[in-house]
Amino acid sequence: MASNNQPGHPDKAQMLGVALMVGVAVLSAMDAVLVRQLSSGVHPFVMGFTRALFGLLVFLPFILSRPGVMRSNYRLLHILRAALKLASLIAFFFAFALSPLADVTAIMFAAPIFVTIGAWVFLSESPRAIRVIAVLVGFVGVLMVLRPGQGAVSPGLIFALAGALLTAVIQLLLKPMSGRDSTETLVAWNLIATVPIAAVPAVIVWSTPTPGEWALLALQGALGALNMGMLTRAFSLAEASLLVPIDFLRLPLVAALGYLLFAQEVPLTTWIGGTVIFGATLLMARSARSRKDREI
């Protein structure tokens, strides 16, 4: 009988997945802070390009050591996915520059809600009662964060909603692609395709960053690539229903950093709305797991 200390033991694999997901939450919070810090001097289009460029440089040795990783069944879809991924990143960069970090982070949790709706519309999945309830609850949480009755909605939060919607479209594209292309292929194609696409808008608004800004941009790109790898690995080791709750760590981490570094106070409606949105996504993850268990 295998012991819990053996590398192949399921419990150990899930613990590693959980640890990686905690790391993802920390890196995501750091990324939000870097974007906010850079936003006063670097245009989001430029940030999108440098993030892709430095991320590719981090993964390039891995890609070059495995030439077969570029073999794919979905080359055109990879290019479309890279363009959409870039658009979602830029939307979030604008959001973090214009709105409090915690508000944007709370809205980002809405992406799975859009994925669920998209699966009903485009993938012909049957809307189950529990998921319909989760979607409705999630939108209530979004409205609480947007606070539409308290004046005009912040443009930054509109960008955040657009970013969440684009993230959902990307995840819907990934469903069929991940069935035939490996995770390594998906990551490699995304990084390689994004750099030339991101260069076009970056050239239009280009202003050479200062040495300090270059350092932060390089750090942001490296952290982004590391975050992508850690997230992918985490979901390969543990079930989504176990990992999804950990993602909520992003909100208190971002709120704390926003307060300490930028004096951003988080209103009660953001805490409640973010919790409601996240609770809805957690309900979706749990219902997906229970359905899978019944099918088994």
For residue 295, pLDDT beyond 70: no
Cα-to-chain-centroid distance, residue 75: 22
At residue 5 the predicted structure's pLDDT band, cuts being 50, 70 and 90, is very low
Q: Which two tokens stand for residue 113?
A: 């809600």
The 3-state secondary structure of 136-179, one letter per residue = HHHHHHHHHHHCCCCCCCCHHHHHHHHHHHHHHHHHHHHHHHCC
* Closest listed residue to residue 227, CA positions, set 191, 199, 258: 191
pLDDT of 117: 87
Kindly report the pTM of this predicted structure. 0.86
* Closest listed residue to residue 272, CA positions, set 170, 165, 144: 144
Segment 163-190 shows an average pLDDT of: 86
How far apart, in whole angstroms, are the C-alpha atoms of residue 176 and residue 140?
Answer: 31
Residue with tokens 């350092």: 215
At residue 158 the predicted structure's pLDDT band, cuts being 50, 70 and 90, is very high
pLDDT of 6: 43
Segment 40-51 shows an average pLDDT of: 96
CA 257-258-264 angle, to 5 degrees, is 145
The proportion of the chain whose per-residue pLDDT surpasses 90, expressed as a percent, equals: 48
User: Which 8-state DSSP code applies to residue 266?
Assistant: P
How far apart, in whole angstroms, are the C-alpha atoms of residue 117 and residue 171?
Answer: 12
In this predicted model, what pLDDT tens digit does every residue of 116-154 receive, in sequence order?
888 888 777 777 888 889 889 988 999 899 887 677 788
Segment 274-282 shows an average pLDDT of: 88
Higher pLDDT, 213 or 246: 213
User: Please, is 152 exposed, middle or buried when counting C-beta atoms within 10 Å of its C-beta (0-12, 13-18, 19+)?
Assistant: exposed
For residue 201, pLDDT beyond 90: yes
Residues ≥6 apart with Cβ < 8 Å to 77: 173, 177
Higher pLDDT, 82 or 235: 82
At residue 291 the predicted structure's pLDDT band, cuts being 50, 70 and 90, is low
Alpha-helical segments (H) within 205-267: 211-237, 240-243, 250-262
How far apart, in whole angstroms, are the C-alpha atoms of residue 244 and residue 240?
Answer: 6
The answer to whether 159 and 95 have CB atoms below 8 angstroms apart is yes
pLDDT of 101: 94
How far apart, in whole angstroms, are the C-alpha atoms of residue 29 and residue 243?
Answer: 17
In this predicted model, what pLDDT tens digit does every residue of 52-108 receive, in sequence order?
999 999 889 988 898 788 888 888 899 999 999 999 999 999 999 999 999 999 999
User: Please, is 12 exposed, middle or buried when counting C-beta atoms within 10 Å of its C-beta (0-12, 13-18, 19+)?
Assistant: middle
Output the average pLDDT for the chain.
86
Segment 18-23 shows an average pLDDT of: 91
How far apart, in whole angstroms, are the C-alpha atoms of residue 74 and residue 60?
Answer: 21
